[in-house]
Amino acid sequence: MNNQDKEKNFISAVVYLGQETGDVQGFFTELTARLEEHFAQYELVVVEDCAPAQALELLREFAARQPKPLTILHMSLRQGVEQCMNAGLDISIGDYVYEFDSTKMNWDSSLIWDAYRKAMEGNDIVNVCPSRSGGMSRLFYTLFNRYSGSAYRLRTEAFRLVSRRAINKVHAVSAYLPYRKAAYAASGLKMGTLEYEGQAGQTRDFDLGLNSLLLYTSAGYRVSFGITLTMLVLALVELIYTLAVTVAGHPIEGWTTTMFVITCGFSGLFAIMTLVVKYLSLILDTVFKKQQYFVESIEKIQK
């Protein structure tokens, strides 16, 4: 396909390169081939998060053979997928941006073009998802989708394609994006999904999942409210038992007063903690945090 027949939208591909690397040269060879086949203009942005030296050397060897320049964003310390991808998105300039959280390509590279075609149907966010996922992932997304209130159900993804409008909109809401997937789903823009037969290769850490549940869902408040109701029921039972012992005329001296104070005190404590959790969640929703990531240097490799 000559340049005149290729898509004219400028495409950015932001790739996370962490400590768990797959076939680096194989991944970028397939990615570049698909971008070169269908797009007249594109860029590759690699966010290096303390990746092994061997993986970086293979990446530089690959970039030296390519017609298009490749940008490597070196992070000053290990910061995780979400922070690094936010940094990569900030320096990308494409009209549409592919987000690859892993270099493990256990999916067909033709899905890269399929995702773009899906975006041309009016979807600002296109998620490419495997048909199968692990048990912990299913549990997490079940909880997340139940309490998020989003119009779109989230699931495990291999990669996604987002428009510049979607990126700008979520950053206008909050400069700090601890979980991009949830921010895109809550943006109000149209989201599409492509499914392929298989299972995604990347894994997520526990802290990210917990933070996402607290920030983007009402799960934390529901849990604290449930604990409060449970404690109130137990307190009521304890109060009835205390009064029954007192009426029966067999109380231990001082026991009735002590149990009454402890029961009411803990009930009030859990009720106050529920209110505190609710107010903290509101503060997080309205104020949020400023984006924080640390970049050591930017390396541009050109043939």
Contacts of 17 (CB under 8 A, 6+ apart): 24, 46, 47, 48, 49, 51, 55, 56, 59, 103
The side-by-side arrangement of strands in the sheet containing 159-163 is 191-199, 125-132, 159-163, 96-100, 11-17, 42-48, 70-75, 295-301
Residue 249: per-residue pLDDT? 66
Residue 12: per-residue pLDDT? 96
Residue 123: per-residue pLDDT? 94
Question: CB of 144 within 8 A of CB of 182?
Answer: yes
Residue 98: per-residue pLDDT? 97
Residue 81: per-residue pLDDT? 87
| Cα–Cα dist 16/14, whole Å | 7
Residue 88: per-residue pLDDT? 92
Residue 132: per-residue pLDDT? 80
Average pLDDT per consecutive 10 residues, the chain (303 residues; last block may be shorter): 81 91 86 93 92 89 87 89 89 95 90 95 93 78 77 85 92 75 85 86 62 70 75 75 73 66 72 70 60 71 71
Q: What homologous superfamily is domain 9-217+290-301 in, according to CATH?
A: Spore Coat Polysaccharide Biosynthesis Protein SpsA; Chain A (3.90.550.10)
